Amino acid sequence: MDYKKFIEEQIAHIRQTVGKAKAINALSGGVDSSLVTVLGHRALGDQLRTVFVDNALMREGEPQRVAKTFADMDIPVELVDARQEFLSALAGLTDPEEKRQAITDAFYSKVFSRLVKESGAAFLLHGTILTDIEETVAGIKRQHNILTQLGIDTEAAYGYSVIEPLKTLRKDDVRQVAKLLDLPAEISQRIPFPGPALATRIVGEVTLEKLETVRTATTIVEAELADSGAFQYFAVLLSDRATGIRNNKRQFGRIIVLRCIESTDARTATVTPLSWEKLNSISQRITQINGVNRCLYDLTPKPPATIEYI
Ligand code: XMP
């Protein structure tokens, strides 16, 4: 693939489609939405408003870190606090697809449609990539950002048209293009993080307490495996509990699963053969988290498992 040509074509396409109108995009800090943000700003400059929606499901310090990275590239990013709206939408839900749907609805129907109305934007720039489309259309998993491919008329449903500049790219292409556009390595090389964020790493209902647990575990896993070279690594909080001992007392505690996988495009994955020493050190740190007394290593490739747990 000629990445330079791709960049030129997409910038021209965005410019031509948007014309003199206004556009908006939501940045999550992942490589897909970061690349769309840079392409969009090259094409549209001030006509594009970029927002970072804090949905309460982000990793530690993420909103501030992302805003700073883009400020350093002279791209202004607005932080929008929508934590309560997302937590209310997720309350009581345990089914994976219902959780995904609730996040999609909270995002597009509530928070985003409000922002679009406020800013008078006629276009939304979206970081959908080819794998998202394929898996959703094949009925494997409803990716949060798939709308038009499922026959959803965004104009009628939400009041704006969607532009998807990355829809012909796979993850490895996205990273190459990001590098070519001088995005910092912390973004172009960043491990994938799903749109529904930490909600995909909590089996069962999402609550503030569980979010805090899985967020702390995520920080530990990301720090421990930063040099692993693996495709993706993260912590998952199960809905089950297990008996353990804490301060010489019985504790019916939480269970964290460690997942670390090798892949090129997330369509298939194998498990990283981490050293026993590394596994032990992660397990020791994870089980120091308040209320957690077990840490398991997931040995399942994709297929039959998927990478995430919901
Ligand atoms: P699965 O779990 O489907 O994950 O094997 C494949 C890759 O996609 C990421 N993922 C998502 N990304 N929205 C996203 O933007 C989603 O709803 C979503 N679900 C999974 C996952 O982290 C993995 O890299």
Q: What is the mean pLDDT of the chain?
A: 93
pTM: 0.87
Strand partners, 294: 255
- Can you give the residue range of the structural domain that contains 79? 3-188
In this structure, the residue with its CA closest to atom 4 of ligand 1 is: 307
Regarding whether 275 and 183 lie in a shared domain, the answer is: no
**Which residues, 6 or more positions from 33, have their beta carbon under 8 angstroms from its beta carbon?**
25, 26, 27, 127
What single-letter amino acid sits at 43?
Answer: A
- In this structure, the answer to whether residues 232 and 176 fall within a common structural domain is no
For 296-307, the pLDDT digits (tens) are 999 999 999 999
Residue 78 lies in a domain: yes
- The answer to whether the Cα torsion of 244, 247, 250, 254 is positive or negative is negative
Supply 94's token pair: 């345990």
The SS3 assignment for 200 reads helix
Ligand 1, atom 9, residue with closest C-alpha: 194
| Average pLDDT of span 157-186 | 91
Per the structure, the count of domains in the chain is: 2
Q: Which residue has its alpha carbon closest to ligand 1 atom 12?
A: 194
Helix runs in 125-170, H state only:
130-137, 154-158
Cα of 159 from ligand 1 centre, angstroms: 27
pLDDT of 83 reads 97
Q: How far is CA 258 from each of CA 26, 194, 225, 236, 300, rounded to the nearest angstrom? A: 29, 16, 11, 7, 11
pLDDT 10s digits, 110-164 = 898 889 889 899 999 999 999 888 877 776 665 556 666 656 677 777 778 899 9
Give residue-wise pLDDT tens across range 240-297.
999 999 999 999 999 999 999 999 878 899 999 999 999 999 999 999 999 999 999 9
User: For residue 209, what is the domain's CATH number?
Assistant: 3.30.300.10
What is the Å distance from ligand 1's center to 190 Cα? 14
Q: How far is the CA of 47 from the centre of ligand 1 (A)?
A: 30
Tell me, in angstroms, the distance from the centre of ligand 1 to residue 247's CA.
Answer: 38
Instruction: Tell how far the Cα of 19 is from the centroid of ligand 1, in angstroms.
Output: 33
Residue 307 maps to a domain: no
Ligand 1 center from residue 194 Cα (angstroms) = 5
Ligand 1 cavity residues, CB under 6 Å = 135, 141, 143-145, 192, 194-196, 200, 232, 266, 302, 306-308
Q: Which of 132, 153, 188 is the endpoint of a domain?
A: 188
Are 171 and 235 within one domain? no
pLDDT of residue 211: 98
Do 90 and 164 have their domain in common? Answer: yes
Mutate to test the pocket of ligand 1, among 307, 309, 310 (most ligand atoms within 8 A of CB): 307
Residues 207 and 177 in one domain: no
Neighbours of 136 (CB within 10 A): 19
What is d(CA 218, CA 97) in angstroms, rounded to the nearest whole number? Answer: 23
Task: Give yes or no: residues 22 and 158 share one domain.
Answer: yes
Q: Which residues face 163 on adjacent strands?
A: 125
Residue 152 three-state SS: coil
pLDDT surpasses 60 at 177: yes
- Mutation pick for ligand 1 pocket among 141, 174, 236, 259 (CB with most ligand atoms within 8 Å): 141
